[in-house]
Amino acid sequence: MKDGVRVIEYNARFGDPEALNVLPILESDFVDLCLAMIEGKLSPNLAKFSALATVCKYITPKSYPEAKTERGQVVEFPKEKGIYFGDISCNEKKQTILGGSRTAGIVGIGSTLIEAEKIAQNICSKVKGPVRFRSDIGTDTLVKQRTAFMKELRSKSL
């Protein structure tokens, strides 16, 4: 067996960034793609995407993942495109309240990664309540760090 990087699990859910980053820019009909997969007729030319960049940042309760102390507290979201709700519900006053996990995925879409990150960051900064988000996700600095790390891993596995 070769040394190096191995896939031990492939798991992509619709609330994960693997989906949230690509579905908003999918131009093809998603149902048609699913049917093509079922029928064994999926081909590369069936899936068409906009030539845009996306960045997905998550709003989570402040204590996530260590604790769930904010569960049931009110959170307010701006009226913006690109907000995909997760672990939230409504109380009897029809206010949005936190669950204990990822509250929302915020997707910025732009012509460049820098533009998409700024859009996502701007939306995240408008969310009010006992929440947090990682402001480094999608930044040029983090992308360069991750790219360098992957290059290092690849060089070790060759």
For 118, what's the count of Cα atoms within 13 Å in the CB-facing half-sphere? 6
> Which tens digits make up the pLDDT trace of 109-123?
999 999 999 999 999
Read off the CATH number of the domain in which 83 is found. Answer: 3.90.600.10
Residue 14 counted as domain residue: no
State the residue range of the domain holding 135.
52-157
> Does position 13 have pLDDT exceeding 60, yes or no?
yes
Residue 3 counted as domain residue: no
Could you give the number of structural domains in the chain? Answer: 1
Residue 143 counted as domain residue: yes
Residue 34 counted as domain residue: no
Bridge partners (DSSP) of residue 128 are: 76
Token duo for residue 70: 């904010």
Residue 25 counted as domain residue: no
With cut-offs at 50, 70 and 90, classify the pLDDT of residue 18: confident
> Which tens digits make up the pLDDT trace of 122-150?
999 999 999 999 999 999 999 999 999 99
Please give the Cα distance from 63 to 28 (Å, whole number): 39
Residue 43 counted as domain residue: no
Residue 30 counted as domain residue: no
